[in-house]
Amino acid sequence: MTGLFNRLSPQGLRILALLAVILLLLAFFASQIDGYFNARLFSRISGSVAIMALIATAQTLVILTRNIDLSIGSVVGFTAFAAGNLVSTNPEMSALLLVLFCCCFGACFGAVNGLIVAYGRVPSIIVTLATMAIFRSLLVEYSDGKSITTNTLPAWLTEFPNLPVFTVFGLEFRAAFVAALIVVLAAHLALTRLRPMRQFFAVGSNPEAAEMAGIDARRVVFSAFVLSGALAGLAGLMFLARFGNITVVAGLGFELKSVAAAVVGGVNIFGGSGTVIGALLGAVLVDVIDTSLVRWAIVSEFWREAVLGALILLSVTTDTLFTRRLVAWRAARAHARREAALNQEARP
């Protein structure tokens, strides 16, 4: 056990801890709510996670570079609406083209943010706070107060999220969830294995050193926003397919949920460290709480948000305290080992 404890990176430990917390929570709710575990629970959570995982991943990319994207909810909403509009007038269009459209559409919003943050050198919290409002107002203007309704959408789109792909232990994995998992996995592989993506961590970890090391920090930050926008666009499509009815408030509050999922998932809010797998688990945790509290009789609907907030605070606080201790402890041990080695050398 101690061997495993020593070998695992703090990130790895965090993921294990998150899994444990999710399982404990599920067990807790199962003891509180009759008939908690059923097929519907899994499909509800997985359906919701399909969207959350995408926006958590999008947010993670930006946070890694020591920035934040508060406009993500507006981008999701706008893309959902625009895609809905497009597909209801062209119901025969190819699905691939629609996916591409959503990615590009979202990426354009990301590029606006990225340009101002990276090349205008304006703090991202200010830029995206402003664009959150601007993008939302543009959506109101563009939609002309109308909404997209399910009956105008082609059946292949609205049916997609619920298509069963495969079943494990009676749990039905549906298309939306599986697609989101694939995207997250691809993002994870890219972040860990692609050279240009490793620079996201470098820039977030020490921007000055990145500059000195010949990394074009501005381009890295810009790319992070563009990629994040593309993922948010994809989340918009997912949102459209899942809910069908899109109003101008679509995606409202997603900035908070995405930051929460990323941070609960162990992404350092000051940049430089974190994994999208962690962010995915963070999204799952947030969704489990969100979905289960509705069914828990003891807690009224009114308290749902507060409990959610408290749990986020709790998990992040214990997590940072724990990780900090671990890092300090490991450094001390490495130091002791080095000293011992030096003494060994000095002796003969």
Partner 1 sequence: MSAIPTLALRAVSKSFGMTAALADMTLELFPGEVHAIVGENGAGKSTMIKIMTGIYQPSSGQVEIGGAPVVLSGSKAARLRGVAAIYQEPMVFPDLDVTENIFISATGAGLILDRRSMRRRAEALVGRIGMTLDVDREAGGLTLAEQQAVEIARALSQDVRVLIMDEPTASLSAHEAAELRRIARSLAASGVAVVYISHRLEEVFEIADRVTVIRDGRHISTRPVAEVTPQGMIADMVGRAVGNYFTKMASVARDEVILSVRGLTRAGVFEDISFDLHRGEVLCMAGLIGARRTDVALSLFGVHAATAGEMRYKGQMVRMTSPAQAIALGIAYVSEDRRKLGLAMPLPIRSNISLATLAQYLSPLGLIDRRRERGTAMAYRERLNIRAPDVEMAVGVLSGGNQQKVMLAKWLAMKPDLLIVDEPTRGIDVGAKAEVHDLIRAFVRDGGTALVISSDLPEVLALGDRILVMREGRQMGIIDSARATQEGIMAVATGQSEAA
Residue 34 CB neighbour total at 10 angstroms: 7
Per residue in 45-81, is it b (16+ CB within 10 Å) or e — as a string?
bbbbbbbbbbbbbbbbbbbbbbbbbbbbbbbbbbbbb
> Minimum distance from CB of 346 to partner 1 (Å)?
9
Decide whether 64 or 117 has the Cβ nearer to partner 1: 64
CB of 7 to partner 1, least distance (A): 10
Q: Quote the least distance from Cβ 26 to partner 1, whole Å.
A: 32
Burial class of residue 118, CB neighbours in 10 A (0-12, 13-18, 19+): buried
Helix axes 175-193, 276-295, angle to 10 degrees: 150
Nearer to partner 1 by C-beta: 150 or 205? 205
Report which DSSP code applies to 13. H
Shortest reach from residue 122's CB to partner 1, in Å: 17
Give the residue with the Cβ less far from partner 1, 182 or 327. Answer: 327
| Minimum CB–partner distance for residue 275 and partner 1 (Å) | 12
**Residue number, 294 or 341, with CB nearest to partner 1:** 341
Q: How far apart are CA 101 and CA 107, in angstroms?
A: 10
- Do residues 174 and 158 lie in contact, with contact meaning Cβ atoms separated by under 8 Å? no
> Which CB atom, from 141 or from 211, has the smaller least distance to partner 1?
211
Closest approach of partner 1 to the CB of residue 163, in Å: 33
Q: For residue 179, how many other CB atoms are within 10 A of its CB?
A: 22
Least spacing, CB of residue 12 vs partner 1, in Å: 12
3-class SS of residue 251: coil
Which long-range CB contacts under 8 A does 165-171 form with residues at least 24 apart?
A: 170/39, 171/39, 171/42
Under the rule (CB under 8 A), what is the footprint of partner 1? 192-196, 198-199, 201-202, 204-206, 208-216, 268, 272-273, 327, 330-331, 334-335, 341
Residue with smaller CB distance to partner 1, 146 or 324: 324
Cβ closest to partner 1, residue 313 vs residue 341: 341
Closest separation in Å from C-beta 31 to partner 1: 39
- Residue whose CB is less far from partner 1, 28 or 329: 329
Contacts 24+ apart (CB under 8 A), 249-253: 249/77, 250/76, 250/77, 250/80, 250/81, 251/72, 251/73, 251/74, 251/75, 251/76, 251/77, 251/78, 251/80, 252/73, 252/77, 253/73
Identity of the residue numbered 125: I
The one-character DSSP state at 151 is G
